[in-house]
């Protein structure tokens, strides 16, 4: 790089280190935001099980398909078997993704309890009780001559996610306040902790329950909607705005910049991104189960699958095929297998990409161009949207296909990989030239 470019990068780095990184670090470490991020992250097994359940129950096979060959015979048999066992197959889905907000309220409440070192079990029970009294009110349903009382899943699914987050944070905060002020039933020290803990949350639990039921009654009487309905309506503009292409590109830029400084980019933006991608995935799974059009592009791991997982692997390929530096090639050989399974830390800290302007520019261009293309393809209906959650170590092209059940996803992923290789080539070659010069200088000084 020339002197002017180095001077600009130094100034740019100084500005980011002084203004952006400290603020972002504080935000990511804020206890309530971190509780939301970590509380939703632990739900991955739930969404994986629910996603595969709905896929089994509703195979991507058209009703008009005929068993004309072996593959079509298998698909038609799968379709007929799923139709005959629909109720059984949908049970895991209904109790996972269909009730996702129940797991959200438990996950977020647990993570916040950890930061306050509060007894988790008693507080989780108290928080869940408040949430169910607001979102899971039993209703009577008439079927023929029989009347059945059941809990509707409407507000326990995606529609109740933000309500679950708010209730989890509010209930734990109020309980923490009561404990700090000693407005609790205090049993003698001789009483075992497991017996005393439930009594600590008894008074704040009653206060929380009465408070939220009172607020819910006000909403119903004055606004003709309950708290979950009001919260979901209020968050709709935010969901739409943050799921737009400019917002996602901004998220990608911030994530790349954080990684540039060696800070875990996904964790930094996860406080904002994780609730939105989890909600998007849940909405898509619900739509798929109902046979409707999938509403969310920004869902599940779509940004990672078509973003960093491709660009990092492209850099590894460029180094292995076109670079001559012994340092770069040795790191790329080590990082190649982990990168194939979407584990990029060996490359990030080994090459390194940290404080490396060549890879910074590469990832800024590749990640944003990739997602722009994917966003437009999904928006046009050409490319399937994600509705299944998979373990993050499933290789990118396979993940893209299984998460959307669209075979075109594999071709798009490979095409983007080829594009990223072309984009990365000049920048990585320039970095390789710099490494070669350093290695030559080191050999000369050793002589």
Partnered with residue 143 across adjacent β-strands are 146
Q: Which residue is associated with the tokens 């800070």?
A: 263
Q: What is the pLDDT of residue 18?
A: 78
Q: Do residues 168 and 127 touch, judged by C-beta distance below 8 A?
A: yes
d(CA 298, CA 283): 11
**3-state DSSP assignment of residue 141:** strand
d(CA 9, CA 390): 38
d(CA 37, CA 205): 25
d(CA 335, CA 318): 13
Q: Do residues 116 and 176 touch, judged by C-beta distance below 8 A?
A: yes
Q: Do residues 106 and 127 touch, judged by C-beta distance below 8 A?
A: yes
d(CA 299, CA 274): 9
Per-residue pLDDT reduced to its tens digit, 346-395: 999 899 998 899 999 999 999 999 999 999 999 999 999 999 999 989 99
Partnered with residue 140 across adjacent β-strands are 149
Q: Do residues 57 and 86 touch, judged by C-beta distance below 8 A?
A: yes
d(CA 156, CA 45): 18
- The overall longest dimension of the chain from CA atoms, in Å, is 96
Domain boundaries, the chain: 8-44+244-437, 58-95, 99-234
Question: 428, 257, 447, 422: which is closest to 327 by C-alpha?
Answer: 428
* Count of residues making up the chain: 447
N-term to C-term CA, the chain: 27
d(CA 72, CA 61): 9
Question: 278, 238, 282, 274: which is closest to 255 by C-alpha?
Answer: 274
Q: Do residues 439 and 327 touch, judged by C-beta distance below 8 A?
A: yes
CB neighbour burial string for 426-435, b if at least 16 within 10 angstroms, e if fewer: ebbbebbeeb
Structure tokens given for 316:
């590894």
Question: Would you list the DSSP string of 156-221?
Answer: GTGGGHHHHHHHHHHHHHHHHHHHHTT-S----TTS-HHHHHHHHTHHHHHHHHHHHHHHHHHHHH
H/E stretch holding 148 reads strand 146-150
**3-state DSSP assignment of residue 143:** strand
Structure tokens given for 162:
């933000």
Partnered with residue 148 across adjacent β-strands are 141
Q: What is the pLDDT of residue 62?
A: 78
Instruction: Give the distance from CA 22 to its chain's centroid.
Output: 23
- In a 13 Å sphere around the CA of 226, the CA atoms on its Cβ side amount to 15
Q: Which residue is associated with the tokens 């509780």?
A: 35
Residue 11: which residues within 8 A CB-CB, separation 6 or more? none
For the chain, residues with pLDDT lower than 50 are none
Q: What is the DSSP letter of 16?
A: I
């Amino acid at each position: 790089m020339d002197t002017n470019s180095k001077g600009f990068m130094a100034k740019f780095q100084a500005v980011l280190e002084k203004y952006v990184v400290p603020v972002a670090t504080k935000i990511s470490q804020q206890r309530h935001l971190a509780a939301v991020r970590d509380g939703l992250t632990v739900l991955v097994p739930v969404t994986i099980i629910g996603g595969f359940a709905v896929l089994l129950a509703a195979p991507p096979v058209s009703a008009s398909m005929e068993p004309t060959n072996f593959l079509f015979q298998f698909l038609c048999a799968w379709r007929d078997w799923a139709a005959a066992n629909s109720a059984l197959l949908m049970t895991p889905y209904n109790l996972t993704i269909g009730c996702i907000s129940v797991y959200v309220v438990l996950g977020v409440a647990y993570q916040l309890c950890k930061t306050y070192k509060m007894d988790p079990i008693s507080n989780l029970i108290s928080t869940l009780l408040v949430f169910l009294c607001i979102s899971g009110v039993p209703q009577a349903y008439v079927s023929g001559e029989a009347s059945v009382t059941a809990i509707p899943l409407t507000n326990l699914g995606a529609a109740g996610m933000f309500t679950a987050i708010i209730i989890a944070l509010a209930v734990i905060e109020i309980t923490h306040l009561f404990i700090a002020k000693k407005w609790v039933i205090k049993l003698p020290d001789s009483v075992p902790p497991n017996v005393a803990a439930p009594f600590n949350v008894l008074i704040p639990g009653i206060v929380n329950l009465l408070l939220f039921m009172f607020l819910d009654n006000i909403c119903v009487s004055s606004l003709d909607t309950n708290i979950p309905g009001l919260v979901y309506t209020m968050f709709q503009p935010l969901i739409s705005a943050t799921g737009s292409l400019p917002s996602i590109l901004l998220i990608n830029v911030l994530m790349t910049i954080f990684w540039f400084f060696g800070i875990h980019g996904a964790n930094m933006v996860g406080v904002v991104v994780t609730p939105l991608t989890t909600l998007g995935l849940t909405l898509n799974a619900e739509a798929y189960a109902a046979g409707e059009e999938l509403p969310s592009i920004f869902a599940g791991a779509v940004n990672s699958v078509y973003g960093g997982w491709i660009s990092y692997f492209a850099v590894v390929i460029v180094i292995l095929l076109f670079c001559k530096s012994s340092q770069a090639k040795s790191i790329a050989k080590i990082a190649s297998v982990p990168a194939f399974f979407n584990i990029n830390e060996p490359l990030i800290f080994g090459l390194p990409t940290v404080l490396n302007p060549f890879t910074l520019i590469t990832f800024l261009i590749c990640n944003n161009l990739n997602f722009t293309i994917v966003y437009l393809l999904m928006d046009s209906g050409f490319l399937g949207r994600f509705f299944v959650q998979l373990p993050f170590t499933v290789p990118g092209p396979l993940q893209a296909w299984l998460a959307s059940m669209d075979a075109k996803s594999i071709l798009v992923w490979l095409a983007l990989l080829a594009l990223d290789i072309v984009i990365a080539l000049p920048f990585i070659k320039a970095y390789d030239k710099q490494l070669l010069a350093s290695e030559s200088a080191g050999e000369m000084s050793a002589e």
